[in-house]
Chains A and B, each alone.
Chain A
Amino acid sequence: MLLVLVASFIGSFGAVFLKMGAAHLKKGFWHILNVQLALGAGLFLLSSVFFVLGIRHGELSVLYPMVSLGYVWTLVWSRLFFNEPLTRQKFVGLGLVLVGVCFVGLGS
């Protein structure tokens, strides 16, 4: 369970680096080769390793909701690092997604 939690945390930082790296693309497509994007992709890979190790033992009904905690971390980082506005629309949408993932987990 801890492994999956760590995976969600690492994955959310992966998303932050992808967002940082994506900004380089505004200068042209071939700016896609940059350190932040490489770091982001690397963190995604690392997070998937933790995830696979985590789901070997454990109930998916508990683990799926923990994975989706990554969405919550990402919401916090978006506010902290990119100053994105937190609107009611985002809270409602994210809330529904979280409930949905919990249900899928319960059914698995």
Chain B
Amino acid sequence: MSEAQGSTMTAGFEARDSARTRRQGVALVFGCTILGAAAQILMKTGANHLVHPGVAGMIANLPLLGGYALYGLSTLLLVLALRDGELSLLYPVIALTYVWVTVLSFVIFHDRVNPFKIAGIVTIVIGVAVLGRGGER
């Protein structure tokens, strides 16, 4: 195998590899945003049920504790994604949290949905799709 051929093959492998790493990273951040949104919902539920203000009340509040735990897990997923992925590519994907929170608030708290919110979450999803797309660099 000539040296030129060898380097072309390596370049091809790296391109494939980076597309796969990117998808993997975006998938991890995707999971991170679902956990983050669930954390926010739990914390809101916990805050609504906070009868005894102060540290003792917060520790006894299971939804609030669950919310913090999920936040921790979601940060762990973000860190795993950042291990191999690019920060500039992965960080905006966190905006997916807005999408889940809007949807979950509608389902759980029956918050109102309006055209602005729908246009917003659709645009965010398209933006994330652009970031996650493989191939072109």
Contacts and interface: CB of A to CB of B under 8 A. Distances in A.
Tell me if chain B binds chain A: yes
Interface of A: 15-16, 18-19, 21-23, 25-26, 32, 37, 41, 44, 64, 68, 71, 74-75, 77-79, 82, 84-87, 89-90, 92-108
> Which secondary structure dominates where chain A touches chain B?
helix
Given A96-B124, A103-B120, A107-B114, A89 B87 contact: no
Interface in B82-105: 82-83, 86-89, 91-92, 95, 98, 102
26 contacts: A15-B91, A18-B78, A19-B82, A22-B80, A22-B82, A25-B80, A41-B75, A44-B75, A71-B92, A74-B91, A78-B86, A78-B87, A79-B88, A84-B88, A87-B137, A92-B130, A93-B128, A94-B127, A97-B92, A97-B131, A100-B123, A104-B102, A104-B116, A104-B117, A106-B116, A107-B118
A101 B120 contact: yes
A23 B82 CA distance: 8
